Each structure stands twice: as structure tokens, then as C-alpha cells.
Amino acid sequence: MRLPVDSSGSPNHRPKSSSRSRGASQPKDINEETRGIHGAFQWALDANADPSRTAADWLAREIVPLAHDAASAVAGAQSTLEQIIALKVAFKALRTGAASTAERNRAARLYAATIAAGLVRFGVKISRQSDAVLRKAFQSLRDDTSCEESLRDLATVAISRC
């Protein structure tokens, strides 16, 4: 078997037309390749800051990529109705499946906040719960000083809409 030989006589020459030149996309620089890695490290650092919020924040960032955390995903103007509904489903699952009581409680508050966001921001009730049950959940969220002010504000407005 003969190897291709380039003009210098070297048998190690590779033809210029490789799979890379046939349309395979290549990163423009090393930063494009490592950007995802930096996001993973940031997630690990955030987990150390407040472990009870980590799972909810991670889920929220997966659903609403521009959100900094779960509260901004729920209360922020960047979220669409479809994203709010997806957040509701995720937080509902986390409510029962989270590892710790603190995570489950946080997920329950965020679940209520997504329903409030549907009412306040989109005028849509995204729950089959009765108005009385929702009102009670919104009042509890409003009164929870451990929750972000943006979520408590959503709850306050939502109370008047059920």
C-alpha cells in the first residue's frame, strides 16, 4: 500500500479536503469550547452558596436560559407563558421529589408563584386548584419573608385576581 506523498516527498501528507473542510462547524476560538464548562463551574459555586435553592435555580435556568435564578425566571418579564407553565410543572415535581425539606418548601413556594405569574402577567389561570386554595397559597407566599420580594409582589397582586 502506498501512502500519498506531498511535494516535499513526505509520506505523512494528508489531503487538504478533510471532513473539517466539508461543512463541519468548528469553534471560532477556545472560549466557545469552554463557555459551557464555565457555566457548570458557576452552578457548582452557586450550590455552595445556598444548597436549598440550587435545584430550583438550576431547573429555572434550564427552562429560562436568561434567568439568573428561579425567582427571576418566574417574576421576570423575559419568561413566556409556555416557560411559566414548564416552570410550574418542574417545581411541582420538585415539591415532592427534592432531597430536603427546605428544597421541597422552596419548590412549593415557586409552584405557587408560577400560578400567580400566569394570572398576573398573562391573565391565565394555569391551575385546576380552586380559587380558595390558590388564595390561601398566595397569602402564604406573600407572608413568607424568606422569599424574594418579586415573588411576594406577584402573590399580592394574584390574591385580588382569584
Asked, for residue 43, whether it belongs to a domain, the answer is yes
Residue 40 has pLDDT above 70, yes or no: no
Higher pLDDT, 15 or 43: 43
Asked, for residue 2, whether it belongs to a domain, the answer is no
Residue 140 has pLDDT above 70, yes or no: yes
Asked, for residue 114, whether it belongs to a domain, the answer is yes
CA distances from 147 to 44, 124, 131, 153 (A): 22, 23, 22, 10
CB 116 within 8 A of CB 158: yes
Asked, for residue 58, whether it belongs to a domain, the answer is yes
Asked, for residue 1, whether it belongs to a domain, the answer is no
Asked, for residue 96, whether it belongs to a domain, the answer is yes
Domain containing 112: what range? 29-159
Count of CB atoms situated within 10 Å of the CB of 133: 12
**What does the pLDDT look like over 49-61, one tens digit per residue?**
566 788 999 999 9
What total of structural domains would you count in the chain? 1
